[in-house]
Amino acid sequence: MLKTVKAMVRYFMSVVPFRLGPALITTAVLLALLATPVPDGLKPAAWHLVAIFLTTIVAIILKVMPIGVMAMMAIMAVSLSQVTAGSSKAAIADALSSFSSPLIWLIVAAILISRGLKKTGLGNRIGMGFISLLGRRTLGIGYGLAICELVLAPFTPSNTARGGGIVHPIMKSIAGAFGSDPGEGTQGKVGTYLALVNYHANPITSAMFLTATAPNPLVVDYISKASGHALHLSWTTWALCMALPGLLCLLLMPLVVYWISPPELKETPNAVAFARSELARMGPLSGKERVMLGVFGLMLLLWANVPALVLGDAFTLDPTVVAFVGLFALIITGTLDWDDVLGEKTAWDTLIWFGALVMLAEQLNKMGVIRWFADLMRDAIIASGLGWPAVAAVLVGVFVCSHYLFASTTAHISAMMLAFLTVGVQLIPAAYAVPFMLMMAAGSAIMMTLTHYATGTSPIIFGSGYVSMGLWWRVGAVMCVLELAVFATLGSLWWSILGLW
């Protein structure tokens, strides 16, 4: 009997796709929350939804299973428990409600579009073009990688695809050309520096464009809700607000990283020759690359609302509509084919887990949990006697630093941002609410600087072995403080000049 049980356990452990230790911790969290008395101000169903939500977040942080599987677990739990409705039919409708959101499909369509950058080789061509212009010094290569990130950011809402899938292979090719290889212990030649620049350009560019990372449209939605729909950031408004402080951060970052982690090789004249040889190997722009450029130009014009500015408001297009126009254009011209669409696992994975997290956040808001938590936090801050500038600093600082506890920006934003925005709007004078909300928007991307698990890009670059964990965290902390300071000072001044406050 004991032998049979042991055999069953071994089989179970070999086939079940989760980590037993984290799974047990997550289960204990769920049971503990369900056993906790319902707090004053919440209904039992709302507290049970909180238990499901927090358990899902803990499971994602501990990486019990792939994030898509944990999202399906949340959908199943909401449906079976019927915490949001009185029947199974209504509960499953609530659990699947977010999948009709244009926000979700904007992200999916744009990730599918970004596949064309890799398939056509246009992303690699852009990167090598900048290296050929700026690559005579290691610092110049760093700026080349940063500019490459900046150029790609408006069109790649998956910051992981951009930083890890497009720019990182370019960075590794350059490091390899100089014999900088972690396997040989020579990563310090140029590889460590370039890997850090490769990574830290990613959060900055993610903050600069609405379509530069998946959670940004969710941030826009939360800011609109917290402000009573008084502040709704369009693609153009977001880009304009973040342009000046973002560009300064992008200008300073390679220098700061160079100071903290200087490369052994300062002069790299061969990089120019390497990039030019790669460009020569690629040959002239292919037809598909030209189509990609044309589609990108069209999408940028439409996202910037140029037709409406010229022809009137009747020609205003929703950003999701623009994304589908671009995707259809790539498919109908043969730049992408249907197998590319079906094979883009990142897009469909994002659809599931992002949709589930958005659903949980919406249901928490609908059931009054966000308001309840915001009221508790507001009362605690009022009791502390802090002035409004300190309140704003504490809210932004705590929100950003709490990302040490998260391995997903989307999970973090879904869990905390609306509550923090709501409290800030209540306690900060109306005249200063806009810069606070814009600081929160910037902070939602800046927090990705902190750890080697902060976002999907970080484990890709960290896992390549060029940067030690200690150095990664030190540089991350410095860059986080620097970027927050730039947005708080230059950003606030810029937003005032723009007439936003």
Residues 117 and 88 in one domain: no
Both 75 and 110 in one domain: the answer is: no
Per-residue pLDDT reduced to its tens digit, 460-472: 888 888 998 889 9
CB burial readout 140-156, b (16+ within 10 A) else e: bbbbbbbbbbbbbbbbb
Both tokens assigned to 244: 């000046």
Same domain, 38 and 84: yes
Is pTM beyond 0.85? Reply is no
Instruction: Indicate whether 12 pLDDT > 80.
Output: no
pLDDT in tens, 397-426: 989 988 887 767 887 888 789 889 988 998
- My answer on whether 55 and 144 are in the same domain is no
| Among candidate residues 313, 328, 344, the one where a domain is terminated | 344
At residue 252, the pLDDT reads 97
Range with the lowest mean pLDDT among 40-49, 127-136, 202-211? 127-136
Task: Please state whether 228 falls in left (phi above 0), alpha (psi between -120 and 50) or beta.
Answer: left
Q: Are residues 118 and 184 in the same domain?
A: yes
What would the mean pLDDT of 48-70 be, rounded to a whole number?
A: 85
Return the pLDDT at 220.
Answer: 93
Looking at the fold, whether 175 and 154 belong to one and the same domain comes out as yes
pLDDT tier at 429 (50, 70, 90 boundaries)? very high
The whole-number average pLDDT for the span 422-449 is 94
Q: Mean pLDDT over all residues of the chain?
A: 87
Tell me, yes or no, whether 154 and 275 share the same domain: yes
Residue 295 and residue 330 in contact, taking contact as beta carbons nearer than 8 Å: yes
Please report the pLDDT score of residue 255 as a whole number: 96
Q: Is residue 352 part of a domain?
A: no
Residue 274 domain flag: yes
Q: Looking at residue 381, what is its pLDDT? A: 84
Given a cut of 80, whether residue 260 has pLDDT beyond it is yes
Sorted by sequence, the CB contacts under 8 Å of residue 87 that are 6+ apart come out as none
- Does the residue 319 lie in any domain? yes
Query: 120 and 75 in one domain?
Result: no
Phi, psi of 38 (to 5 degrees): -65, 125
Phi, psi of 137 (to 5 degrees): -130, 155
How do residues 285-343 score in pLDDT, each as one tens digit? Answer: 899 999 988 988 888 788 767 787 788 878 878 778 888 998 999 999 999 999 999 98
Does residue 120 have a pLDDT over 80?
Answer: yes
Q: Which domain holds residue 126?
A: 102-221+234-344
pLDDT in the model for residue 60 = 77
Q: Are residues 176 and 39 in the same domain?
A: no
pLDDT tens digits for range 351-374: 888 788 778 877 887 888 877 877
Q: What pLDDT does 298 receive?
A: 87
For residue 485, pLDDT over 90 is answered with yes
- 133 in the same domain as 59: no
The verdict on residue 393 lying in a domain is no
How many distinct structural domains can be found in the chain? 2
Helix axis angle for 191-208 and 235-260, nearest 10°, is 160
pLDDT per residue as tens digits for the range 29-49: 999 999 999 998 889 999 999
Residue that the structure tokens 């379509």 belong to: 211
pLDDT score of 323? 83
Instruction: Please give the share of the chain, as a percent, with pLDDT higher than 70.
Output: 99
Same domain, yes or no, for 181 and 288? yes
Q: End of a domain among 49, 77, 95?
A: 95
- CA 78 from centre of chain: 25
156 falls within a domain: yes
Of 63, 78, 95, the residue at which a domain comes to its end is 95
Q: What confidence score (pLDDT) does residue 116 get?
A: 82
pLDDT category, 196, cuts 50, 70, 90? very high
Residue 2 lies in a domain: no
- Does 125 share its domain with 152? yes
Kindly report, residue by residue over 71-96, the tens digit of the pLDDT: 899 999 999 999 999 899 999 999 99
Please state, for a pLDDT cut of 90, what percent of the chain lies above it: 36
| Residue 447: pLDDT band with limits 50, 70, 90 | very high
pLDDT at 202: 95
201 lies in a domain? yes
Which has the closest alpha carbon to 43: 356, 366, 358, 362? 366
Residue 390 falls within a domain, yes or no?
A: no
